[in-house]
């Protein structure tokens, strides 16, 4: 129910209540007035009867009282008049005329009590008011009752009963009351008209304000409230218009700034306020996200955190996160559906070895496979025709594409793709510089941990990694075999053919060593022409086979130099952690002792450490 209807209902209810109250009070008042008037009329008539009867008795004409009573009923309104004698009068003068008897119950009550009694009766459709008035003896005035009656003052001599119609009083009361109700009704109608006229602009303004507020809730602040009056209601309408204009202009400016921050211009659809709040919340959350990833130690931690955002913040379960390798034309999947370094599932695997076949990598622009499903030929859904769509975001680092995020959306999620784009862009923009910084740091750290000439890990890498290596071996209850390797007579190469030839030999040896072991094993240039190999989860028996394989490969290695071709041999010592020692560096010493034994025994051989070698070595040192 609107305000105008409420005002109308209130006015009608108020007028109805007022008229009902007026009718009730009027009817009650007129009833009391009619009864009071009739009572006084009957009392006056009864007094006249008493005085007339007293004079008639004194004057000796009491026998004519009936004609007097008959004439009395001719008075307007009076219907009957009757006199009854009291017991003391009957004792003195007898019972009187027959028509005076018998007295009814009310008359007997009055004769006994000496108090008047009145009552209303309905007879023949007419309302009659009856009053029975006692005649009480009095010695006041001339003539008086005591002059004729042998009674004391105050005795009840008799009673007169009069009845009169009060219909004419009721008619007058109803007429008067009707005129009053009519007057009040006219006043109420006039007042209602004034009230409605005054309330109409208030109600209409309220309707306009409500409509404007509903539009504002839905993000539309362009509603205008009509100013109908120059009073407070008009002031409210004007203030409402100014408030809406202020909000509209403010949100438009905020939207423009947000568009600049996100590099995404909103399409103008949807709730402007909700969209703005959502983007601002995303900017705030992305800032916290950036602060968190800046404190991460590695790129892998950042990729893991970004994956959780994709799954939890954006509700996307199927996605691929690729890193573009700067040294070649390849891409590396770092997260696929949350799995670290998972297989390529949503694209042609060709993109991993030729990253220019990835459209997002090649163009550096968003690839919208929701609105244009066939835009990228490299997209390969696991099931053809399943309705899956994709969004591919390039991760720009210093103007180049350093990675690609691919979101795979089902038919149900495709509808929210447009809303996802600016929010995902915000997170990727915050992530990109941090990833680039971590990549540069890892590159610098990797340069410090590798030998610049051979590209192998150096001794510093071993010192920083040894704790992780040992923890991994202990957790898996696995062996870690240590190979110490040293080229035979390497100093002669430098002395005879120069340092360039020596460098060529070391480079060739590094390649042979890397090819001879698994990808997860570590090949370390320990110093000069001495090398170390760490074989993960490998016992000494297997390590001896690997060492022999290396010895044979080095023996057959031919290194071209300016003056011809060089061939060298290598000596190798093997020790097993924790079989030989539960201390890593002690195991390294044992491998070095075995290497020394290989050189002492004639070089170009592999020697397995045994405790006797350590005792022999100590005795020589002594």
Say if CB 396 and CB 418 are below 8 A apart.
Answer: no
Q: What is the largest CA-CA distance in the chain?
A: 190
Question: What is the pairing mode between strands 457-458 and 606-608?
Answer: unpaired
Q: Which residues of 192-220 are buried (b: 16+ CB within 10 A; e: fewer)?
A: beebeeebebbbbbbebbeebeeebeeee
pLDDT of residue 622: 44
- Distance CA(387)–CA(378), nearest Å, equals 16
- Distance CA(374)–CA(389), nearest Å, equals 10
- Distance CA(378)–CA(97), nearest Å, equals 137
Domains of the chain (ranges plus CATH)?
Answer: 3-171 (3.30.450.20), 296-445 (3.30.450.40), 449-621 (3.30.70.270)
Say if CB 373 and CB 410 are below 8 A apart.
Answer: no
pLDDT of residue 49: 76
Question: Which residues have C-beta within 8 Å of that of residue 152, sequence separation ≥ 6?
Answer: 137
pTM value surpassing 0.85? no
**C-alpha distances in Å from residue 46, one per residue of 76, 434, 517:** 15, 119, 146
pLDDT of residue 174: 80
pLDDT of residue 252: 79
Q: Residue 102, preceding bond cis, omega within 30 degrees? A: yes
pLDDT of residue 162: 83
pLDDT of residue 469: 84
Which SS3 state, helix, strand or coil, does residue 277 take? helix
**Four-residue CA torsion sign, 59, 62, 63, 66:** positive
Q: What share of the chain is helix, strand, coil (3-state, %, to 5)?
A: 55, 20, 25
Chunked into runs of 10 residues, the chain (622 residues) has average pLDDT values of 69 81 81 81 78 68 63 68 78 64 79 86 81 81 68 79 80 82 83 78 84 82 85 87 86 75 62 75 88 88 93 92 85 91 90 91 93 90 80 91 93 83 90 87 72 87 85 87 93 87 91 90 90 92 94 92 88 94 93 93 93 80 49
């Amino acid at each position: 129910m609107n305000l105008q209807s409420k005002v109308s209902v209130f006015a009608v209810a108020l007028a109805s209540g007022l008229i009902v109250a007026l009718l009730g009070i009027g009817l009650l008042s007129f009833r009391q007035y009619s009864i009071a008037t009739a009572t006084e009329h009957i009392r006056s008539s009864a007094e006249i009867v008493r005085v007339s009867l007293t004079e008639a008795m004194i004057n000796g004409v009491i026998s004519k009282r009936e004609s007097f009573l008959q004439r009395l009923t001719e008075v307007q309104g009076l219907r009957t008049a009757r006199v009854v004698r009291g017991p003391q009068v009957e004792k003195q003068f007898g019972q009187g005329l027959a028509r005076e008897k018998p007295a009814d119950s009310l008359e007997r009550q009055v004769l006994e009590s000496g108090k008047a009694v009145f009552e209303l009766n309905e007879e023949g459709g007419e309302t009659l008011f009856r009053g029975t008035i006692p005649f009480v003896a009095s010695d006041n005035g001339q003539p008086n009752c005591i002059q004729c009656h042998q009674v004391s003052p105050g005795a009840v001599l008799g009673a007169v009963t009069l009845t009169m119609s009060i219909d004419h009083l009721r008619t007058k009361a109803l007429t008067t009351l009707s005129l009053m109700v009519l007057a009040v009704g006219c006043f109420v109608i006039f007042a209602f008209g004034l009230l409605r006229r005054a309330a109409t602009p208030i109600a209409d303004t309220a309707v306009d304000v409500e409509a404007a507020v509903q539009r504002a809730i839905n993000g539309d602040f362009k509603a205008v409230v009509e100013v109908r009056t120059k009073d407070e209601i008009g002031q409210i309408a004007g203030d409402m218009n100014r408030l809406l204009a202020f909000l509209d202009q403010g949100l438009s400016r905020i939207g423009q700034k947000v568009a600049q921050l996100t590099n995404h211009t909103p399409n103008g659809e949807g709730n402007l306020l909700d969209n703005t709040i959502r983007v601002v919340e995303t900017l705030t959350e992305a800032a916290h996200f950036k602060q968190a990833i800046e404190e991460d130690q590695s790129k892998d931690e950042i990729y893991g955190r970004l994956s959780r955002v994709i799954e939890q913040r954006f509700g996307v379960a199927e996605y691929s996160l690729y890193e573009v390798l700067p040294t070649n034309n390849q891409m590396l999947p770092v997260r696929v559906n949350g799995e670290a370094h998972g297989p390529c599932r949503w694209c042609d695997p060709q993109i991993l070895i030729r990253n220019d076949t990835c459209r997002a990598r090649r163009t550096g622009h968003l690839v919208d496979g929701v609105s244009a499903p066939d835009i990228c030929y490299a997209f390969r859904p696991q099931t053809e025709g399943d309705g899956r769509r994709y969004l591919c975001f390039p991760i720009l680092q210093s103007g180049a594409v350093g990675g690609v995020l691919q979101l795979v959306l089902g038919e149900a999620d495709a509808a929210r793709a447009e809303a996802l784009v600016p929010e995902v862009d915000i997170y990727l923009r915050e992530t990109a510089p941090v990833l680039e910084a971590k990549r540069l740091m890892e590159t610098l750290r990797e340069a410090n941990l590798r030998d610049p000439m051979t590209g192998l890990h150096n001794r510093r890498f071993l010192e920083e990694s040894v704790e992780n290596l040992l923890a991994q071996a202990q957790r898996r209850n696995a062996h870690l075999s240590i190979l110490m390797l040293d080229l035979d007579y390497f100093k002669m190469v430098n002395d005879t053919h120069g340092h360039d030839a020596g460098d060529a030999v070391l480079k060739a040896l590094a390649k042979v060593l890397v090819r001879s072991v698994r990808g997860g094993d570590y090949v370390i240039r320990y110093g000069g022409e001495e090398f170390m190999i760490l074989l993960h989860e490998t016992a000494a028996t297997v390590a001896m086979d690997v060492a022999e394989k290396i010895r044979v490969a080095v023996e057959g290695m031919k290194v071209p130099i300016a003056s011809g071709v060089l061939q060298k041999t290598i000596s190798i010592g093997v020790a097993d952690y924790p079989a030989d020692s539960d201390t890593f560096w002690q195991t390294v010493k044992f491998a070095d002792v075995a290497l020394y034994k290989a050189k002492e025994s004639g070089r170009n051989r592999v020697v397995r450490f045994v405790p006797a070698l350590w005792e022999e070595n100590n005795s020589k040192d002594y």
